[in-house]
Amino acid sequence: MNDTMPPEDFNNERARISKQRDDIMDIMTEKFKEHIANNDMNRAMALADEYFEWLHPDIAMHEDTLYSHETELKRTYLELTSG
């Protein structure tokens, strides 16, 4: 848990990031199916290659999404680099 961000802000941030990842997955899946339907295997495979970890059923739910809260990251940087 982040000890400088209120818990409700942290939970809101997690929910926002999770939704964003879900949206990306939905769009990617739709595009992949579209490329397959149009027999555009090169684009379909390029997309699948880029999102392999998200598509593979054994690792999809274990793939970490790493992110940083910009303000917190700047604050920590300033704390660590100033006198």
| Number of compact structural domains in the chain | 1
Is residue 2 a part of any domain in this protein?
A: no
Q: Is the pLDDT of residue 80 over 50?
A: yes
Cα separation, 13 vs 20, in Å, equals 11
* 42's tokens: 């090169």
- Angle, helix 7-37 to helix 41-50, in steps of 10 degrees: 160
This prediction has a pTM of 0.59
Is residue 15 a part of any domain in this protein?
A: yes
pLDDT in tens, 1-60: 445 667 777 778 888 888 888 898 899 989 999 999 999 999 999 999 988 877 777 776
Residue 1 pLDDT: 43
For residue 56, what are the CA distances in angstroms to 15, 17, 26, 41, 48?
23, 21, 15, 18, 10
Domain range for 51 is 7-81
Is residue 1 a part of any domain in this protein?
A: no
